[in-house]
Amino acid sequence: MRLWDTASTSDSHHEFVDHFTVGDDYQWDNQLLEADVRASKAHALMLLNVGVITDKENKMLQKSLDEILLLHKKGEFLITRNHEDCHTAIEEYLTMKCGDTGKKIHTGRSRNDQVLVAMRIIMKEKMDDFHDQIQELSNSFSQQSKKWSSQIMPGYTHMQKAMPTTVGIWLQAFADGLSDQIPPLKSVRTLIDQNPLGSASGFGIRNFKNNRPLTTRELHFQKTQENPIYCGLSRGLFEYQCIEALTPSILILSRFIADILFFTADGKKYFTLPDFLTTGSSIMPQKKNVDPAEIFRGKVSQFLAIKHEIEIIYNGLPSGYNRDISLIKQSYFRASTLAEELMQMAQIFAENVTPNAEALQESMTEDLFVTEKIYNLVKIGVPFREAYQQVKEEFMTGDL
């Protein structure tokens, strides 16, 4: 039974309504459990500090919370639909193990509080992971760039040959683009590094003296997020910003993958890919399609759609907590996982794409050097626009 039923009468439950409202939310909560336990341990210390529980009670709670973590790691602490979420599951376990002491764990906090602090802990870690992943990705591009720095290739605009460039310059563009995204990522990482625990339902509790700096220290937050209404406002918003901070990197990679597809399209052999990056056909045995790149393209669209989903769920709600906000939890996890996979896939492409020197050399047709001819004229004093017209006429009449 849930702890906060509005009524105990028989018409208080409706199976479909429960399914609709809770959905598979409790499953996502397996991802929150560890962080929730860590926050609960800090919260218990605070309750000890302000005199709600005794030293002995705190020890009981700490021990039981550690047990939950152990059980969870062994896959034996399961959150079921009856629990609705991991927060209830934890309180039930503590009450079972510690009796009345367990019933004290929720003092001074709310479920909303628990989700807020657990998500915050998780997001901080994920942002650190993404920091590293983007850095590595940038490094891979950079290493490949150095390796192929002298390999000439045609530069394209409008999917038409434009001017000569090198594989090194091409790959370094992505390296630079990605490494530039790290400071904005860090600034969001700093933004979210504030402790919301103690905001209760978004208004604090006037006649309960919380020691919020204590949990801030215990949980290694840079500061306490003082205003309780702002704590509530930041639920969903900070999730959005963490996902958002990944978007420019993913957009940059979308253009790298578009290049991969273009440079291997229609039998073009500028680059060779290992077999594990191509797929065959069920009826055309000759086919070697770059399916992972196409799936990449589709998954970027999925990523953008989920990001947008967060925006429109969040947008325009009154400032206090509303239940729709809870749906952002799964949007965050889905978008975050997609981003991880997209970056890992891009890294595999970056590491495995091998220039085909012969094909690239053959592709360096005369039209790529037309602009250089203009500049040869510029060098001898012909005004650019005149040189342009002159070379153009030669090109059009075939004299070039």
Q: Which parts of 312-351 interact with a copy of itself (CB under 8 A)?
A: 312-327, 331, 341, 344-345, 348
State the CB neighbour count (10 A cutoff) for residue 62.
Answer: 15
d(CA 63, CA 70): 11
Which residue among 70, 78, 96, 305 contacts a copy of itself (CB under 8 A)?
A: 305
Contacts with a copy of itself in 231-270 (CB under 8 A)?
Answer: 232-234, 237, 240-241, 244, 247-248, 251-252, 254-259, 261-262, 265-268
Note whether 111 binds a copy of itself by CB under 8 A. Answer: yes
- The CB-of-100 to a copy of itself minimum distance in angstroms stands at 5
Which residue among 70, 297, 361, 362 contacts a copy of itself (CB under 8 A)?
A: 297
Note whether 137 binds a copy of itself by CB under 8 A. Answer: no
Which residue among 49, 211, 279, 354 contacts a copy of itself (CB under 8 A)?
A: 279
- The CB-of-208 to a copy of itself minimum distance in angstroms stands at 5
Instruction: Give percent helix, percent strand, percent coil of the chain, each to the nearest 5.
Output: 70, 5, 25
d(CA 114, CA 91): 12
State the CB neighbour count (10 A cutoff) for residue 375.
Answer: 12
Nearer CB in complex with a copy of itself: 67/203: 203
- In DSSP terms, 355 is beta-bridged to 271
Note whether 283 binds a copy of itself by CB under 8 A. Answer: yes
324, two tokens: 């729709």
Residues 6+ away with beta carbon under 8 Å from 260: 271, 273, 290, 293, 349, 353
Note whether 66 binds a copy of itself by CB under 8 A. Answer: no
CA-nearest of 294, 286, 302, 299 to 260 is: 294
Note whether 172 binds a copy of itself by CB under 8 A. Answer: yes
Which residue among 82, 96, 272, 384 contacts a copy of itself (CB under 8 A)?
A: 384
Residues 6+ away with beta carbon under 8 Å from 36: 86, 87, 90, 114, 117, 118
Note whether 164 binds a copy of itself by CB under 8 A. Answer: yes
Output the CA–CA distances (angstroms, integers) from residue 352 to 29, 79, 274, 360, in the order listed: 37, 42, 7, 17
- The CB-of-149 to a copy of itself minimum distance in angstroms stands at 12
Note whether 360 binds a copy of itself by CB under 8 A. Answer: no
Which residue among 28, 170, 271, 332 contacts a copy of itself (CB under 8 A)?
A: 170
d(CA 66, CA 378): 76
Which residue among 97, 131, 147, 186 contacts a copy of itself (CB under 8 A)?
A: 186
